[in-house]
């Protein structure tokens, strides 16, 4: 009888929080693995166009990015500029910078603002062809409306 | 007595603050990182050649000429089209199999020719490129369904190559006009 009463009076045991750090660490590792820290800061303003037939960039660590857009610091409407590796570059010099026979199979990602005109894009594409880096990706965002 | 005390102190390190530290790190990563979706339209450029390209005679019915002008308007095979109509028209052109005299004889001979002005917007160019890719994807998907009873995405690489051999994607880009 006394044993029975004793049991009833017992408080509900606390939920063990010992495994909480493990759960949080698991989340932490997940985020660390999934996210890509961008070391490159863009000097140009870019709003990507939208498209439906897009594929994920394979081997994103090996891809080189070329940015085309208006200078971020520009106060008035200016001609678009080209950025590779943290700095602005003249269009005519692009093929010297990116030509590398060892990288012929690596992809070049073109990140171009949607309002840029095709003239400069074509010039950049010609430079890419001169450098014999023929695999490119036109970066775009998924169009969810279609 | 003394011995007893010593064993008790080296009992265990309090792991209660571990969760706090981990949370702090977690929040730091959550705030600083952005999940960047690295996606885009795949394309292959032709090799560079100093000489002007040779003129290869091609029957005009096998060419889908798409012109985009400076106002982002389309002219497809001499007709004005809106961007929404382009995919179906391109699909009809590719999979014509000689039915219509103005469209391609067969998918193997079909060529898409893209031309734009220098002041065409990049957005218009990408949407045209996207629609043409969409037409080819639809054609590939249907061919995959017919041949292998599966979606194109799920095929093996040799199977995909076989389909691409039957319906090759050829996009020829002309030099833009100086407007």
- A124 — phi, psi (to 5°)? -65, -40
> What residue ranges of chain A are covered by domains with CATH 3.30.420.270?
44-142
Nearest CA in chain B to A120: B118
In a domain, B8, yes or no: no
User: Is position B141 within any domain?
Assistant: yes
- CATH number reported for the structural domain that contains residue B166 in this entry: 3.30.420.270
pLDDT on residue B7 = 52
DSSP A102: G
Helices B122-148, B157-166: axis angle to 10 degrees equals 110
Distance CA A86, CA A43 (A): 7
Pairing of strands A135-139, A44-45: unpaired
Task: Give B3-12 pLDDT, tens digit per residue.
Answer: 555 555 567 7
The reply to whether B108 falls in a domain is yes
Q: What is the pLDDT of residues A63-112, one digit of tens each?
A: 888 999 998 888 888 889 999 888 899 988 888 888 888 888 888 999 99
| Interior/surface letters B125-138, b for 16+ CB within 10 angstroms, e for the rest | bbbbbbbbbbbbbb
Q: Across the interface, which of B35, B120, B133 has its CB nearest the CB of A118?
A: B120
Structural domain of B166: 60-173
Q: Do B119 and A139 touch (CB under 8 A)?
A: no
What are the tens digits of pLDDT across the range B47-90?
Answer: 888 777 777 788 888 888 999 988 989 999 888 989 999 999 99
Contact of A15 with chain B, judged by CB distance below 8 Å, is answered with no
Whether B146 maps to a domain, the answer reads: yes
Q: Testing the interface with A: which of B25, B28, B34, B122 to mutate, by most A Cβ within 10 A?
A: B122
Q: How many domains does chain B have?
A: 1
Domain annotation covers residue B55: no
Residue B4: the pLDDT is 53
Bridging pattern class, strands A141-142 and B39-44? unpaired
Which residues touch B31 (CB under 8 Å, ≥6 apart)? none
Number of A/B CB contacts below 8 angstroms equals 145
The helix (H) or strand (E) run that includes residue B164 is helix B157-166
Best CA proximity match to B94, nearest among B56, B71, B66: B66
Q: What is the ipTM of this complex?
A: 0.76
CATH T-level topology, domain A44-142: Nucleotidyltransferase; domain 5 (3.30.420)
Please give the Cα distance from B23 to A20 (Å, whole number). Answer: 10
């Amino acid at each position: 009888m006394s044993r029975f009463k004793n049991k009833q009076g017992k408080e509900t045991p606390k939920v063990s929080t010992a495994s909480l750090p493990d759960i949080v660490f698991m989340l932490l590792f997940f985020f660390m693995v999934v996210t890509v820290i961008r070391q490159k800061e863009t000097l140009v303003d870019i709003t990507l166009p939208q498209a439906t037939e897009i594929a994920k960039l394979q081997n994103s660590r090996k891809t080189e990015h070329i940015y085309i857009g208006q200078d971020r610091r520009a106060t008035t409407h200016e001609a678009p500029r080209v950025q590779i590796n943290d700095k602005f570059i003249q269009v005519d010099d692009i093929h010297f910078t990116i030509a590398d026979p060892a990288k012929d199979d690596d992809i070049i990602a073109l990140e171009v603002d949607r309002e840029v005109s095709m003239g400069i894009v074509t010039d950049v594409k010609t430079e890419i062809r001169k450098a014999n880096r023929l695999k490119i990706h036109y970066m775009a965002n998924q169009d969810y409306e279609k | 007595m003394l011995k007893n005390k010593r064993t008790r102190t080296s009992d265990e390190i309090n792991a209660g603050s571990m969760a706090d530290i981990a949370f702090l790190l977690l929040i730091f990563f959550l705030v600083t990182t952005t999940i960047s979706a690295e996606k885009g339209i795949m394309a292959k450029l032709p090799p560079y050649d100093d000489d002007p390209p040779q003129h290869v005679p091609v029957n005009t019915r096998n060419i889908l000429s798409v012109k985009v002008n400076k106002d982002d308007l389309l002219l497809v095979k001499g007709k004005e089209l809106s961007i929404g109509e382009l995919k179906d028209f391109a699909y009809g052109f590719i999979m014509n199999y000689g039915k219509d005299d103005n469209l391609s004889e067969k998918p193997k001979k079909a060529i898409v020719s893209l031309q734009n002005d220098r002041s065409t917007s990049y957005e218009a160019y990408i949407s045209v490129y996207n629609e043409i890719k969409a037409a080819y994807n639809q054609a590939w998907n249907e061919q995959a369904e017919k041949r292998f009873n599966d979606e194109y995405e799920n095929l093996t690489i040799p199977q995909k190559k076989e389909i691409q051999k039957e319906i090759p994607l050829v996009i020829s880009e002309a030099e833009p006009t100086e407007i």
